[in-house]
Structure 1
Amino acid sequence: MGATLDTARTLSMVISSLILTYHAATAYLCTFLTSDPLYMSFSVTAYAWYGCVLAMLGIYGSYKKSPTHLTIFSNHLLIDTVLSLVPKVGLVYLFHDVTADLCFTSKLNTSFWFPSTIEDLHGPGRVIQSSSTEQSLGASFKARRHCETDVLIAQIAFAAVLIFWTIAQWGMGLSVRRYALRLELQSYNNVQGDRNVDEEKIFYYEKSPVDEYRDAVKLAQNWTEKDNTTLIEVAEKPS
């Protein structure tokens, strides 16, 4: 039981440190965003710093074994996972929209995907003297297909990373919350154990009703014997 709690404590501290690094990196990257009239970059930065504070609260709770601090941190992770679903879906759509026409822009027509000259296509010193339009179109078509494949892989990878992070964050929140509940249960058991010990002490050290009855009988006998002695002394005393 103790070893399991120590493992859960270490895992909780690692999770808190990971979330702290994530929010700190988000706040740092937001400094490179341009200002916008809706103050979106400022809002994201403020929320990232807020997440840093709660992550440090999770680290403190893990170190001190405080179920209250860990519960606050775990609730933040679970709520943030749900609330960030909509922005993440929008981010995936935005990334797909930005990269959808990437292979058809005029700027990339002169890139490594789409060579503009025969020398760019085959490399310096390997110029092939050919004026065939079909060969040029075939090379451009292959290059564009290669570009589309790369963009599609990037889109899938981006969406997969966001989905994986969402699932991982939910699992981390549940793990920290489970550790907090176990700490609360351990604290409750300790309190109940101390209370049972106190009750046992009271039972053994306090007089039972039988002992009180015996004491009362002995006291009555002492008073009776004292009264009898007094009556005898009065009768034997010469008048």
Structure 2
Amino acid sequence: SIGSSGSQAFGVAVGVGVLMFLCCWVFCIYECRLYRRSVSGGERKLQLQDKNVAVSFSVQGPSEKDTSDGKVHIIWNLHEEQIQQFFAQEPASEEPADEEVGLEGEITVPDFGRWSRPASQGPGARFPRRDSGAKMPAMPAYPPQERPKNMKRHRALEAACPAYQDGERVEYFSKTHQCWLPGVVRLSVERRDAGRWSATYDVRVGLGNRWCRDVPLERLRLPLQDGESVELFSLREGGTWLPAVL
């Protein structure tokens, strides 16, 4: 009985050893395949603005030196034109509110002053009026036969009193990133109730073609300039605003 129990224990030990060896062997094969695929080529899934994009790659010139962390690093060589296809969100064209009043007039909107927010205020704060000192130019008295074709457009822009000019550089507050991003305004005017004209602002954010449509004024501000007086929120001073200069 002692001999039979010893042989049984030996058989169990051998079985466990063989099983562990097989597990290690399979794991090594799996890791080798992953390593070979990572250094030779493969496919990755990228998330580009709610679009799943499959990107295939192949290593053309692997580096002979090891990386500092011992991991495989891939330098992507992406085509800018192909990437722009996934970020192009040009706003759809709209019908003009008046047949002679277009959304993108080729005239210069007079400077009516700016609505800007001090640096001490965040989104949702009320806008103080900062008068630029520029006065509205007087409308020339054209004879009926010499009246410019864009007169109605010009009057519509004046009646809308836009806070920002078309093509003006601004800063746009992104709820996604929770910070101010540079952008460019696209000014539009449309007729509201009771014949009133209203200005709307589309903003092209960043250097790409991402457009944010009908942006409210509380999410726009003029870019801060070098030497401009601001207020800095300091936690070290007990959460108070301190005067500062950029």
TM-score (norm 2): 0.19
Larger proportion of helix = 1
Tell me which of the two structures has the higher relative contact order, counting C-alpha pairs closer than 8 angstroms and 6 or more residues apart. Answer: 1
Larger radius of gyration: 1
TM-score (norm 1): 0.19
